[in-house]
Chains A and B, each alone.
Chain A
Amino acid sequence: MSETKIIDACNTYCPGPLMELITYMKQADVGDTLELLSTDSGTANDVPEWVNKIGHEMGSSEKVGDIWHIKVRKAK
């Protein structure tokens, strides 16, 4: 069954949120949804750019307080 896994990439400069997402995306099964938490303002643009290029699916993307919550579904 698919699940939502939280990746806490708040307050990290290296490897940084997108690199963390790529790491966990490789470990996930097709159909899994990952929710990336990030305090880096660039993440809201960086993640959709990669997700669209590689062919996964963007879910919701919202800022709650200082933290971006970005959901991505592994599509392949």
Chain B
Amino acid sequence: MRILVVGGGTGGTIVANNLARRLAPEIRARKARITLLSASDQHMYQPGLLYVAFGQMMPDELYRDEASLLETGIKFHVDPVEKFELDQNRVRTKSGEVYDYDILVIATGSRTMSREVPGLQEGAETFYTEKGAVKMFKSLRNFQGGKVAIVVGVPHKCPIAPVEVTFALHDYFKMRGIRDKVEIKYHYPINRIHSIENVAIWAKPEFERMGIKYETLFNVDEVDVENKVVKSMEGSEYKFDMLVSIPEHHGMEVIEKNKLGQNGWIPTDRYQLTMDGHDNVYVVGDTTNLPVSKTGSAAHFEAEVIAENIASIVKIGTPVTEYDGKVYCFIEAGRDKATYAMFDYLNPPNLRAANKPMHWFKMSYNKMYWTTVRGLL
């Protein structure tokens, strides 16, 4: 059985490692082969970007060599896929190689699309890329006071990030002793301050206590860079001194170009995690079109289901389990407090008050991530 994993980020790496351990006897007996193709030899811990934007982590702390994270049985090549030929069960890569497979796992992630909104790329800070996060920190350091606006594109990965960055801004300006010179205004696309109702119920009094203003039903339409005004599709506008954007995301261009899914989101069965119409193609992480948060956490839980099912297909010819929509998100509520949201398709999260131990748990997780992707945790 030839298993091909495309994408060496959170989802792809966990699938490959988990499978390599489950299929160790079959790999030794040459009855199974796992190949991982990625676009980079580096693996980035993306949640660390939020800390880079506030000077709490350095960019080099976010990277590991992908090869160092992989089980020995996995054949790893840095050679991005350019063509998916699903009817022939093969892909073609940038180097011209052809990889045939029996089972394919697509884990190519998502990308920011700031350019979809006129003026956003030039007019806003964003911590969703390494370059952006470093630039945002430098701007924050130089900021002496004024109006800071947070705007949120749809859809976006890490749905908790909008509230986290807002709390972090409040604490950062407080730490610098200039909070009274800063107006922070949070703008959110739907009619409450977070998509998860219990997060909205928890965050609203926190915002009010911290003097953070907010406006809902605000979908960014345009940024007037010269006059520093952000306008919404709903017809309102806000004049800012600094604009922080959580940009809209799409799946990768290669997914769109190969017509696997509009805007790069692949139609995926929400329980089996197979691509619609292709039972031997699994989809994991951000690139699914599932109504599930685009998070490393969702990618992790999905990856475990996929690995268990592929291993059981190899061993007994049938999948054995289903994804239940599970997601676990830490929520940093400033520089020294955090809480978390755990939910699945059927059960909403119950939020506890933010506390210090949870923050230190998240700080430890920032290091433990590397054991998680190895599949050891």
> For chain A, which range describes its interface: under 10, 10 to 19, 20 to 34, or 35 or more residues?
20 to 34
> For chain B, which range describes its interface: under 10, 10 to 19, 20 to 34, or 35 or more residues?
20 to 34
Q: Which of B154, B195, B197 contacts A26 (CB under 8 A)?
A: B154
A14 to B161, CA, bound (A): 13
Q: Which of B51-59, B125-133, B343-351 contacts A (4 or more CB under 8 A)?
A: B343-351
Q: Which of A46-54, A57-65, A66-74 contacts B (4 or more CB under 8 A)?
A: A46-54
Q: Which of A8, A12, A50 contacts B292 (CB under 8 A)?
A: A12
Inter-chain contacts of B234 with A (CB < 8 A): 50, 53-54
A75 at the A/B interface (Cβ < 8 Å)? no
Q: Which residues of A does B touch, CB under 8 Å?
A: 8-9, 11-16, 18-20, 22-23, 26-27, 42, 46, 49-50, 53-54
A18 to B217, CA, bound (A): 10
Inter-chain contacts of B363 with A (CB < 8 A): none
Chain B minimum-CB-distance residue to A20: B291
B355 at the A/B interface (Cβ < 8 Å)? no
- Please report whether the interface of chain A is mostly helix, strand, loop or mixed according to DSSP: helix
Inter-chain contacts of B47 with A (CB < 8 A): none
Report whether B191 and A50 are in contact in the complex, using a CB–CB cutoff of 8 Å. Answer: yes
Chain A minimum-CB-distance residue to B233: A54
A12 to B327, CA, bound (A): 11
> Given A22-B154, A26-B154, A11–B189 Cβ distance below 8 Å?
no
Inter-chain contacts of A15 with B (CB < 8 A): 154-155, 159, 195, 291, 293
B196 at the A/B interface (Cβ < 8 Å)? yes
22 A–B pairs (Cβ distance < 8 Å), ordered by A: A8-B291, A11-B345, A12-B291, A13-B197, A13-B343, A14-B159, A14-B195, A14-B292, A14-B293, A14-B327, A15-B159, A16-B196, A18-B190, A19-B154, A19-B195, A20-B291, A22-B189, A23-B155, A46-B190, A50-B217, A54-B217, A54-B233
